[in-house]
Amino acid sequence: MKIYTKTGDAGETGLFGGGRVPKDDERVDAYGEVDELNATLGLARSLSMPADLDGLLQQLQDQLFTVGAVLATPQGTKAAAHIPHIKPEWVEAMEKAIDGFETELPTMTHFILPGGSQASSALHLSRTVCRRAERRVVPLLREGKVSHDVGVFLNRLSDLLFVMARVANHRVGVPDVKWIPEKPGK
């Protein structure tokens, strides 16, 4: 089978299990954004990422393919019985990771300018793309077309990526720069 099947040339494509939809369908848009998020994690990992963060990111990339499969498979179809599902343990593990990383870090009281080391900067980019993916999942959640787990997973992931971005700077001694809002009327 060639990788280019040409079947999508006219703007339609297939979900898992077979239904055909336009490529701007909400489902396709949602897993397309998750794919982009996954690509930004790959990019982050290529930019001198500390080994423990790198290992965790690889796990998260793997889990995102399950998220993608869930998004690509309409509920109640035969295909739905053949895909893996998001495990509650994954979310718990993210929460533990956040708690653990935060012990390394000074308490946050202000927004910080995203940036610093290349690894940290790329994680901030992933964080924002994760949040974009979450926004695209919201219509599916609202219409009951996708499991609540997807929303939880992405919501927690963006917070984990924030903390990992801070750790990536802190470990190399790069201070985060705070945003100090000016008093209005000044």
Ligand X SMILES: C[C@H]1O[C@@H](n2cnc3c(N)ncnc32)[C@H](O)[C@@H]1O
| Interaction site with ligand X (CB under 6 A) | 8, 13-15, 23, 28, 32, 131, 134-135
151, two tokens = 């929303």
155 binds Mg ion (CB under 5 A): yes
Pick 97 or 133: Cβ nearer ligand X? 133
Residue (of 34, 37, 35, 9) closest to 23 by Cα position = 9
Which listed option, ligand B12, a copy of itself, Mg ion, none, makes contact with residue 169 (CB within 5 to 8 Å by class)?
none
Which listed option, a copy of itself, Mg ion, ligand B12, none, makes contact with residue 170 (CB within 5 to 8 Å by class)?
none
Spell out the residues 6+ positions from residue 65 whose beta carbon is closer than 8 angstroms to its own: 38
CB of 14 to ligand X, least distance (A): 5
Question: In this structure, what is the dihedral angle of CA atoms 40, 13, 72, 124, given to the nearest 10 degrees?
Answer: 20
Could you say which of 25, 26, 29, 35 contacts ligand B12 (CB under 6 A)?
Answer: 35
CB of 96 to ligand B12, least distance (A): 17
In this structure, the chain runs to a length of: 186
HSE, side-chain direction, 13 A CA sphere, residue 87: 10
Find residue 178's DSSP bridge partners. 112
For residues 159-178, which are near ligand B12 according to CB under 6 A?
Answer: 159, 162
Pick 127 or 170: Cβ nearer a copy of itself? 127
CB of 126 to a copy of itself, least distance (A): 8
For residues 38-67, which are near ligand B12 according to CB under 6 A?
Answer: 65
Residue (of 67, 65, 177) closest to 121 by Cα position = 177
Pick 31 or 49: Cβ nearer ligand X? 31
Which listed option, ligand X, a copy of itself, ligand B12, none, makes contact with residue 109 (CB within 5 to 8 Å by class)?
ligand B12
Are the C-beta atoms of residues 157 and 123 closer than 8 Å to each other? no
CB of 134 to ligand B12, least distance (A): 10
Instruction: Give whole-number Cα distances, 24 to 11, 28, 33, 131, in Å.
Output: 8, 6, 12, 19
